[in-house]
Amino acid sequence: MTDPMRKNITNQTIGQIIPRWEWRAFAEEFPSAEQILQSLECTRIKESEEIYIISKNSCDNCKIRNSLMDIKVLEKTGEDGLELWKPVLKASFPLSFEIVRLVLRTLHVRKPLVLRNHYTHHQFLGEIVGDHSKLRMLDIKKKRNGYMIDGTEVEIAELQIGQKRIKTIAAESEDAGKIKTVLKMLNIDHLANTNYIKALKKINGF
């Protein structure tokens, strides 16, 4: 049965977006995988500062990146542990009242809203997120190196979360089988799949 909240989220999007299977792990280092990736061509390098909005009630991914509210929802988890994620929103600030309500539905929380037609970045974080007992903001700096292996996007990133530094490695594709092949090639197929929200909750004790 389709979650009505997720149905509402999906109805806000424009165009056809194909969900992608994702796998991710976190650790201080990935020696074997990093050695293999260093022998391959790096197709992209990106640095960013992002704000993740973590909810006690939700496992969906809600963040602010490049001045955009960016939401992905978890469609399902496969028997092999891979997760199917679907992007459903990229909205620039100021956010409309309707988009703010959409974000709250994604986070599975309620909050009396100040009657504003639009919310600036500062108003949204201060009035909607900042004092909510079930929400938390995490500032994260990322340096991401991307690779393409057999049609699978592979990324290794250095993260700074407060005073903590950690690495994450990820693979994503529309084809779950290709991901499993790449994980085996990189010698990381024995690691558990842990998405950003699960990891950030654990790291932050939330």
- The one-letter amino acid code at 83 reads E
Decide if pLDDT at 15 tops 90. no
Rounded Cα–Cα distance for residues 141 and 58 (Å): 23
pLDDT tens for each residue of 30-58: 999 999 999 999 999 999 999 999 999 99
Q: Is 167 buried (19+), middle (13-18) or exposed (0-12) by CB count in 10 A?
A: middle
Residue 20 above 70 pLDDT? yes
DSSP states along 17-82: ---EEEEEEEES--HHHHHHHHTS---EEEEEEEEEEEETT--SEEEEETTEEEEEEEEEE-TTS-
Side-chain-facing half-sphere of 176: CA atoms under 13 Å: 13
For residue 103, the model assigns a pLDDT of 94
Domains and CATH numbers, the chain: 4-204 (2.40.320.10)
Q: What is the mean pLDDT of residues 98-111?
A: 93
Q: What percent of the chain has pLDDT over 90?
A: 83
Using pLDDT thresholds of 50, 70 and 90, give the confidence band for residue 112: confident
Task: Give the pLDDT of residue 131.
Answer: 82
Mean of per-residue pLDDT scores for the chain: 91
Cα(first)–Cα(last) distance of the chain, in Å?
Answer: 29
Predicted confidence (pLDDT) per residue in 78-88, tens digit: 989 999 999 99
